[in-house]
Amino acid sequence: MTIKVGDTIPSMKLMMATAEGPKEVSTDDIFKGKKVVLFAVPGAFTPTCSAKHLPGFVQNAEAIKGKGVDTIACISVNDAFVMGAWGKDQGTGDKVEMLADGSAAFAKAIGLEMDITARGMGVRSQRYALVAQDGKVTHLGVEAPGGFEASKAETILGVL
């Protein structure tokens, strides 16, 4: 079943790259007591993700956080090393947390996985963005295949 507005973010573990190496982080620590914007991309270093999606959130981070958002996080079905390298490449700094969902467990738990094995990419996350307050989803924008409107930073800024 796909997550929807009013649902609670599932309690589970993700990974983040740190200076000391990959670190396990819980969704509870990320979401509880905070207003969070989480956006998902099908893959790090992929064309739309690298040219538009992540850069939009980096460029608009100050405006988004100015609307009361505590954390902006990007999640992808990649490992923590790849997400860390992509964050460095994109200059995310402390603007956007880079979360690794290496086995697509989070994508599957919220019902937003997609199987693109036929295109050589395996199971990935759909492209989406959500806003959560204290772990409850208050907004969800899921893209149609090939789309890039519902989940872009400018759209999310408009719903905050």
Q: Which residues are catalytic?
A: 49
Separation between Cα atoms, residue 108 and residue 103, nearest integer Å: 9
Q: What is the largest CA-CA distance in the chain?
A: 42
- What amino acid occupies position 72? I
Q: Are 37 and 156 in contact (CB under 8 A)?
A: yes
* CA nearest to 124, candidates 43, 21, 32, 33: 43
